[in-house]
Every structure is written in C-alpha cells, then in structure tokens.
Amino acid sequence: MFKNFFASITHNAISLIGTALALAALVLIASLFTMEQFGFEGGPYLGILTYLILPMIFAVGLVLIPIGAVLYRRKIRRTSGGADTPVLPVFDLNIPKTRRWMFIFLGATMFNIIILASATYKGVEVMESVEFCGLACHSVMEPEHTAHSRSPHSRVACADCHIGPGADWFVKSKLDGAWQLVSVALDLYPRPVPTPLHDLRPARDTCEQCHWPTKHVGDKLRVIKHFEEDEANTELTTALLLRVGGASGSDSSGIHWHVDPNMAIRYRSDDTREEIYEVEYTNADGELTHYADRKAPEEGGVWRTMDCVDCHNRPSHIYQSAANEVDRIINEGLVDRSLPFVKREGLRIIDAQYPSHEEARAVISEELQKFYAENYPEVAAEKSDAVEAAGIALGDAYAVNVFPGMNVWWDTYPDHIGHEQSPGCERCHTKKMRTADRKQITNDCDTCHVLLAEGEENPHILSVLNSE
C-alpha cells in the first residue's frame, strides 16, 4: 500500500531528481528570503532569482515526483508481468498507518501551495518593478530606463503607466511581455523601439490614477535659458506664462481644456501621429465640428481619441535636443561659460553619431581640447581643468540622450509639448486645419501662452519677478 507508493517515489531516478530539485530550491528560497529580511541588499537580480527562477525550479521538482512514480509503477507492472500492480497506488484508509501518511502528505501539499502562492505574489511584484522592466531587457530598454530615472516620474513604476490596475491589461501585457522576452532572447526586436505605442492603455486608467483631469492648474510661469553661439556665449532668457488652465466649475479653459471629460476630440493621422489629417471636436452639447487638412490623404491612417499622452507623450522618457542639452549643462554650471564659443563648439561636437558611449566620450573630450589648443592656446593652458570638465559634461549629456546600440539618436523620439522639438501642438493648431467654412483651429500665440520675454538678455520682467 503506502509502502508501495513510498517505494515508487524513492526507487526511481526521476522522482529522486524531482525531490532533490524541490528541496534545494526550497532551501535556497528560504535562505535568500531570510537574508533579505535581515536587510541584505542583493540588487534587482536577487529578487528575480528568489521569487521567479527558484520557485519555477521548485514547481518543476514537485511535478517530477508523481511523474516518476507513475513511470516506475508502469515499469514494475511490465517486469513482474502481472496485473497485480495497478497503474496508480491503492490507498486503504482503514489502515491507521496509511491514514497517518495521508495527513502528512496533505500537510506537505498545503505547505507547497503556500510557498508557491507567496512566491507568485512576490514574483508579480518583482516583474512590476522598475528594475525588472529596465534591467531584465537591459540593452533594449536602456534608453527608456535611463530617461525614466532622470524624469519627474522616476519613482513611478513602469507598470503604473504601461499596465495600470485590473486583471485584463495585466494578462494582456504579460502575454505581450512573454513574447517580448522571446524576441529579446532571439534578438528579433526592432531598433529603435518604435514610437508611438499603439496599444498603450488609455490615460484614463493610467495617468488618472494619480492626476485629476479636472484639476485647475491655471497659468504657469516657465523661464527658459538659452545661450547664443557667440564668443561670449550670451545668455538669452525666454519667459512664458503658459495658460495651462483646466476645469473650473462646469467650464474649462486653456491648454487642459482638451481633457474636459464633457467633450471629446478625435483625430485621424498617419502611423507616427506626426501628420494629422483631420480633427473632430464634439462639445458638451454633442455638436460636432470637423476640421481637415485639404491636402491630406482622404483614406487610410488611424483614428484616435485625444488624451493626456497626445501632448505628454514624453512624461517619463524625456530626451532633449542637443542644443537644449548644451544649454542645460552651461546653465547648471557643469560647463564654464567663460570658455569662448563653448556653446557653439559643444553643440557641433555632440550633435553627431558616435558608435558607442565610450567612443563618444573620448572623441568629444579630444575634439574640445583640440579646438582650444588650436584657436585659444592661452585658454587651453590656463583653463585646462575647465576644458577637461566641459568635455566630461558633454560626454555625460550625450550618454543620457543618445543610445547607439538601439539606434536612438538626438531626434529619434519627438516631444509633443510645444512646437520646438517637433510640430507638437502645431500638428492641429495650424492654418491648414480648417472647417468646411474655412474656420481654422487657432494658432494665435496668445491662446496658449503670454510671451513675457523672448530670447532677451537680462529681461526686465525677471528683475520684477525676482524682486518679489
């Protein structure tokens, strides 16, 4: 009876291997888990090992045990030539010893279920973590991971925007995810990862977990510093009062008017969403206004309902243009502004395609030093530290925006906020987008912002604001 069963799982290699695997995995899970409880930080891979890989081995071990037992009994039946050994073990619950074994067996099964259930729970948590998304597919997601870690959303998990709550999208994204892992393993994925993401979950279910579409932001002051490409790297200031607006009462105004839940804007565009063909605006009373670009193709393209992501397409993966990046590092003091022509030369040197980050850093530093050695030998001698630091800062700026391994260059991923890096708002707010009776979607500057200063040296408005 039970001895039979016990024999069938201890006398065959498959069951023994299964038991060994399950036991080894269990001991490892328990010790890694204990280490984690004592504050040992093993990095993201430890979580992946403890809660994904080891539990898988554990489960495989458990499955092997009965498989081995059944195969073993079959063999016994065949060799003993008799039908007296049934395929499956026979349990006689009238025998006290069998009953005792039965309880032990049930207890062990419960224990296994608890282990697997908690591992699954923690495993899901690990798969949702930024580290897993970013590192498990290290080379593929390196651009997104790097940009994300520098963004205002660096503490928001990838999954909060890409999956959101609820089982249906979870399953969908995990199925997609499984395919993505295969394509990473077999090196099938496209470089760069194409944008936009056509199956991104609607912003209602992701962004709006944390942001209210009806929040009134009002006017927002933005002060932007640029540096001219002259010898003195003249500082130019632009100050904008952005009319972000939003809902107030039953009305909404300004830029966030587009996401008023009482109305809807739909548009038809090409696959990249850079070229918009026609726009349909339905107001709160259900009246429809139709705008179209008369030169656009009449058929084809994709229809989409506008949401947060049509403007905020880079809330987390923010890549700057080369010029803005040089402005930033000068403004932050990482590059010494007293170096003659450092804006012009810095921009010339980084706005290029280098085969790797290492090569970029080396060539950028070398080129900058060469420029000063040839044109300003006295600067090269007296400020050699500043020139060296500038070379390093330019290399760093390159490495967080450009990813040669993934074919991500300065202009690969357009930003739709504004109209500098890409047409952005001007995809719709243009003379071309008109109704049948020639009414245009406005492109009047003041609709969106009040320009307090535009590329000025020491604008008066800043002294007013600073004196408050």
Q: How far is the CB of 334 from ligand HEC (least distance, A)?
A: 20
Asked if 402 is part of the footprint of ligand HEC (rule: CB under 6 A), the reply reads no
Segment interacting with ligand HEC (CB under 6 A) among 46-54, 144-152, 178-186, 368-376 = 144-152
Q: How far is the CB of 71 from ligand HEC (least distance, A)?
A: 44
Asked if 432 is part of the footprint of ligand HEC (rule: CB under 6 A), the reply reads no
Give the residue with the Cβ less far from ligand HEC, 92 or 251. Answer: 251
Angle (CA) 212-215-218 rounded to 5° is 145
Phi-psi region of 212 (alpha: psi -120 to 50; beta: other; left: phi over 0): beta
**E strand or H helix that includes residue 267:** strand 264-269
Map the footprint of ligand HEC across residues 286-315, applying CB under 6 A.
306-313, 315
Give the residue with the Cβ less far from ligand HEC, 134 or 391. Answer: 134
Asked if 160 is part of the footprint of ligand HEC (rule: CB under 6 A), the reply reads yes
Q: How far is the CB of 424 from ligand HEC (least distance, A)?
A: 5
- Token pair of 246 as six digits: 């939003």
Give the residue with the Cβ less far from ligand HEC, 115 or 242. Answer: 242
Map the footprint of ligand HEC across residues 70-89, applying CB under 6 A.
none
Asked if 268 is part of the footprint of ligand HEC (rule: CB under 6 A), the reply reads no
The Cα 276–Cα 266 span in angstroms is: 11
Q: How far is the CB of 101 from ligand HEC (least distance, A)?
A: 50
Q: Which of 237, 316, 321, 365 binds ligand HEC (CB under 6 A)?
A: 316
Question: If binding means CB under 6 A, how many residues of this protein chain bind ligand HEC?
Answer: 78
Q: How far is the CB of 339 from ligand HEC (least distance, A)?
A: 23
The Cα 1–Cα 427 span in angstroms is: 78
Q: At what angle do helices 2-10 and 96-128 cross, to 10 degrees?
A: 40
Residue 166 · residue 429 · CB < 8 Å? no
Map the footprint of ligand HEC across residues 114-143, applying CB under 6 A.
130, 133-134, 141
Q: Which of 52, 62, 126, 259 binds ligand HEC (CB under 6 A)?
A: 259
Phi and psi angles of residue 203, each rounded to the nearest 5 degrees, phi first: -55, -25
Burial status of residue 57 (CB atoms within 10 A of its CB: 0-12, 13-18, 19 or more) = middle
The Cα 32–Cα 14 span in angstroms is: 27
Q: How far is the CB of 273 from ligand HEC (least distance, A)?
A: 7
The Cα 144–Cα 134 span in angstroms is: 8
Sign of CA dihedral 76, 78, 84, 89: positive
The Cα 331–Cα 318 span in angstroms is: 18
For residue 459, the one-letter residue type is P
Segment interacting with ligand HEC (CB under 6 A) among 1-9, 251-259, 352-360, 395-403 = 251-259
Map the footprint of ligand HEC across residues 4-23, applying CB under 6 A.
none
Angle (CA) 329-324-426 rounded to 5° is 160
Asked if 459 is part of the footprint of ligand HEC (rule: CB under 6 A), the reply reads no
Asked if 361 is part of the footprint of ligand HEC (rule: CB under 6 A), the reply reads no
Map the footprint of ligand HEC across residues 193-232, applying CB under 6 A.
193, 195-197, 200, 203, 206-211, 213, 217, 220, 222, 224
DSSP E strands, 168-234: 218-227
